[in-house]
Amino acid sequence: MGAQLRVYKRRIRSVTATKKITKAMEMIAASRVVKAQRKVAASTPYATELTRAVTAVGAGSNTKHALTTQADKVVRSAVLLLTSDRGLAGAFNSNAIKAAEQLTARLEAEGKQVDTYIVGRRGLAHYNFRERKVAQSWSGFTDEPTYADAKKVAAPLIEAIEKDTADGGVDEIHIVFTEFVSMMTQTALGDRLLPLSLDEVAKEAAPKGEILPLYDFEPSAEDVLDALLPRYVESRVYNALLQSAASKHAATRRAMKSATDNAGELIETLSRLANAARQAEITQEISEIVGGSAALADATAGSDR
């Protein structure tokens, strides 16, 4: 009984230490997700307005450009997958990876070659373990991405879209990230980054009664689109990185809260078991004392006879 009680006490100490760690991680994630939310809110209007500007230029000209013109036959597509560098975030990474794999399977079923670009060590580890080819990867900044990080990620994508497919370029770019909806809801989704679908943007604007303005371009619409291309890709990638970071922190907070609650329940269960073991030990000791006392009394009574 004594050995069993020591085992319970040792496990209680271990689980208590784990609970302190998960509680601290929950508090850290809660503070980080608030900062990440503010950055998402600050970057979203810029990305939205820049998309509208590109749409206005594309709709107001007949110029064929990588930003707004779909290739007659798409030969190769690029898929940018955003994951995190660290785990302990529930199904955050697995959902994003699953969405990327579904998108890749759909593109390949359409007869397209797929080049995969990955942000985050978790996504890269998943693909390396399965020996899948990765065109390029980045890591080390997923918790707090900056615009400089977005430019670094966007640069090879812009270079690929500007190349001919015969030279290793791509005809379209897709991005898979986790959209931050609320503290309890984060959704992994895939979105086509380039070329921008003017029809879809027009449909979104139609219910609001918005009319896209008409422009005259100097020196030309193509030069304007060339200038907007890197800004558009960088802003969209930056916003997606921020959305992914906020979603990761929210997922970590939720996972650590669940772990803390489970640790508390386990401590209660182990405490009850330890109390039962201690009570059984006390009962056994009392029984041994009573039994020894009775045996001693019998022995004394026998000697008196």
pLDDT 10s digits, 91-149? 899 999 999 999 999 999 998 999 999 999 999 999 999 999 999 999 999 989 999 99
pLDDT at 127: 93
Predicted pLDDT of residue 126: 93
Cα gap 205→52, rounded to integer Å: 10
pLDDT at 208 over 60: no
Tell me the pLDDT tens digit for each residue of 13-41: 999 999 999 999 989 988 888 888 888 88
What pLDDT, on the 0 to 100 scale, is given for residue 205?
47
The Cα 224–Cα 57 span in angstroms is 8
pLDDT at 128: 92
Residue 49, pLDDT score: 79
Q: Does residue 60 have a pLDDT over 90?
A: no
Q: Smallest Cα–Cα separation from 65: which of 206, 153, 161?
A: 161
Please state the pTM of the whole predicted model.
0.81
pLDDT in tens, 65-97: 666 667 778 888 999 999 999 888 888 999 999
pLDDT digits (tens, 9 = 90+) for 285-297: 787 787 777 777 7
In this predicted structure, the answer to whether residue 170 has a pLDDT above a threshold of 60 is yes
User: Which tokens go with 99?
Assistant: 């969405």
| 2 confidence band (pLDDT: 50, 70, 90) | low
The chain-wide mean pLDDT, for the chain, equals: 83
**For 209-234, what is the mean pLDDT?**
73
Q: Give the Cα separation of 240 and 224 in Å (integer).
A: 24
At residue 17, the pLDDT reads: 93
Q: Which of 117-131, 148-162, 275-289 has the lowest mean pLDDT?
A: 275-289
